[in-house]
Structure 1
Amino acid sequence: MKTLLLMAALVVGAPAVGATEPNPALMIVGMPHLANPARDIANTKVEDVLSPRRQREIADLVDRLAAFRPNHVAVEWETANQAKLDQRYADYRSGRLKLAADETDQVGLRLAAKLGLPRVDAVDWNQEPPGKDEDYDFVAWMKAHGRGAEWDAFQKSSQDEADAKGAFQRCHPIADWVRNYNDAAGTAQLTTPYYTIATFGDTASNPGAAWVGAWYARNLRIYANLLHVGGAPGDRTIAVFGAGHGPLLRSNAVESSRFTLVDVLRSLPPASTPSC
């Protein structure tokens, strides 16, 4: 134990790696899941982004992000599957691939190709956390402990918010979608529910807190992967991720003091008036 305490003291007292060098720049672009994978607690129904109107809007968004001049584009793709992403990117650049409707293709691959980057970096980690499934199954716990109605109300409220997002998106260009997920109000809306989920348990067993902890751990792994990809002085990275990751990745970047965080809102046009 004394050895561990000494090691901790040495780490705390040591200067940060590269502290005397300028921090690399990082922009987090939190996106709705454009392809409607429906894997979240509440899911926003996104209209077809392959329509001519939405394709023009995505092209404009990519042009605006390109002005940041990143030398890395990182996406929500498992690091273990980098080779598959490399092949997908190569196929797109050679004209053999029609882009899918998801944000990895529509924003990540497009942006990297526009800039002539040699690759798109896979920085996600989404494996099973340690322990048993029931350690994280807060829904089953709530139903087994007489709190099923509380869970139902939480889920309904979350879906109502997602439906409101969908209604907003139908009447606004995609740049406004991005703004809506990355401004202060959007960030608060994304982070607050985790503090409720963390109460879905008791002092003996708290699968809600365990689940939130696993979510935080996943994002710390993504942060570490981003540092591996774009952590050298002078690096400029854009990370295209589902919007729910945005608040934690931005927090990790700032609190670690390893990145200079660049606000994506600076790359967007002024908010538009609704079209419907």
Structure 2
Amino acid sequence: MEDSDADTTAETRLTILGSHHLAQPGNDEHGTDAGDPLDDGRQRELAALRDRLAGRSFDWVGLEIPRDHRDALAEQVDAVDAAVAERGEAVWTDPDEWPDGPLRVRGEAVQIGLRLARRLDARVHAVDSQPAPPDPPAGSTAELDWSLAVDSEAVPYDVPDPEAVVADRESRVAESSYLELFRHTNREPQLQQNHRLNVAASLSSSELSASDTTGEAESDTEPPLVAADATTDYAGARQLGYWYERNARICENCRAVATPSSEGMLVIGAAHVIPVRQVADAAVGITPASPLPLLTDDEP
């Protein structure tokens, strides 16, 4: 009798750690001023965070570095290893001793991803890949808007104010340890908030138009959201497609570097977590996982 499990693909568990960019401000349209992660106090907090994450023996760590820079990444990591061997841990917090390359010493890719990987003797990989931005639809008068400036009337649900989101995040950074902050960031309500904001920002780039309509509103106070014969230029759909293609590429790059039954961690901007997870859920060979069991004492 044939083994029914013989053709089963050995899955890689991919723990997706959502992060704000520690090297902010400057990475995103609405960046968070997170203070200086190289300060002594923040370094102690990052060590506590890495202690938690090291509770899972990761074989490899994916970094939000373009895959095209993988050779430069390998050279930089070799130089970092040599500097650490020669001068010790001080190289991790001294920008003057930091070798050139795509990794920024203050960034989460270094202070979480690379340092955790070196502690666990794990491989590091550049897994980001950005497609060429789409052109606006032919005949459209709108331009694609890559900011998070959401037209709340253009989407059929409530969306948070980006400035309020950033202000809340900066307040949390100022009042919380990194461990507390990452616990909050990776809980589902916060991940969903990030995701809804990104989707809404994309969709609100579309132009809606309608010719003369004869449809009547159901009530005088609640007009239809969109007239029955309204047309759209689909600018927002193109923008959203670009975003999902980038995240699908990230997932595909993770699959490419994974070995069967391995443990991988992806250190990525928090807005990427849900789309990467959605793609991984549908992919063969990757099982997405939350970092919360490592970060909390009360999660199953």
TM range, normalised to the smaller chain?
Answer: 0.7 to 0.9
d(CA) in 2 for partners of 1:269, 1:148 = 36
Distance 1:33-1:131 versus aligned 2 partners, 3 A rule: same
User: In the alignment, which residue of structure 2 is the partner of 1:15?
Assistant: none
Deviation at 1:257, TM superposition (A): 4.5
d(CA) in 1 for partners of 2:160, 2:53 = 35
Which deviates further from its counterpart, 101-110 or 261-270? 261-270
Alignment of 1:242-257 (within 5 A): 242-257=269-284
Aligned 8 A contact 1:36 1:46 in 2: yes
Aligned 8 A contact 1:41 1:155 in 2: no
Alignment of 1:96-115 (within 5 A): 97-98=91-92, 100-115=105-120
Alignment of 1:162-201 (within 5 A): 162-197=166-201, 198-201=203-206
Aligned 8 A contact 2:191 2:274 in 1: yes
What's the TM-score once normalised by structure 1's chain length? 0.79
Distance 1:148-1:264 versus aligned 2 partners, 3 A rule: closer
Alignment of 1:1-276 (within 5 A): 20-95=8-83, 97-98=91-92, 100-117=105-122, 119-131=123-135, 137-139=143-145, 157-197=161-201, 198-201=203-206, 202=208, 203-230=231-258, 232-270=259-297
Q: Which has the higher helix share?
A: 1
Q: Highest Rg: 1 or 2? A: 2
Aligned 8 A contact 1:138 1:206 in 2: no
SS in 1 for 2:132: coil
Deviation at 1:39, TM superposition (A): 3.9
- Deviation string, structure 1 residues 137-171 (Cα, Å, up to 9, x no partner): 3349xx9xxx98979xx999201111101101211
User: In the alignment, which residue of structure 2 is the partner of 1:5?
Assistant: none
Aligned 8 A contact 1:45 1:163 in 2: no
Identity %: 27
Distance 1:183-1:155 versus aligned 2 partners, 3 A rule: closer
d(CA) in 1 for partners of 2:145, 2:270 = 23
d(CA) in 1 for partners of 2:166, 2:267 = 20
Count of matched residue pairs: 245
d(CA) in 2 for partners of 1:250, 1:172 = 27
Which deviates further from its counterpart, 196-205 or 210-219? 196-205
Deviation at 1:127, TM superposition (A): 4.1
Aligned 8 A contact 2:13 2:286 in 1: yes
Distance 1:156-1:64 versus aligned 2 partners, 3 A rule: closer
SS in 2 for 1:25: strand
User: In the alignment, which residue of structure 2 is the partner of 1:8?
Assistant: none
Aligned 8 A contact 1:30 1:181 in 2: yes
Q: CA RMSD in A?
A: 2.9
The runs of 5 or more residues in structure 2 that have no matched partner are: 1-5, 85-90, 94-104, 209-230
Aligned 8 A contact 1:199 1:209 in 2: no
Letter paired with 1:32:
H
What's the TM-score once normalised by structure 2's chain length? 0.73
- Deviation string, structure 1 residues 41-72 (Cα, Å, up to 9, x no partner): 32222111111111011112112212211111
Aligned 8 A contact 1:123 1:225 in 2: yes
- Deviation string, structure 1 residues 180-222 (Cα, Å, up to 9, x no partner): 2211111111111234221331234232222121011100011
d(CA) in 1 for partners of 2:152, 2:249 = 34
User: In the alignment, which residue of structure 2 is the partner of 1:14?
Assistant: none
Distance 1:36-1:150 versus aligned 2 partners, 3 A rule: farther
Deviation at 1:90, TM superposition (A): 1.4
Aligned 8 A contact 2:160 2:197 in 1: no
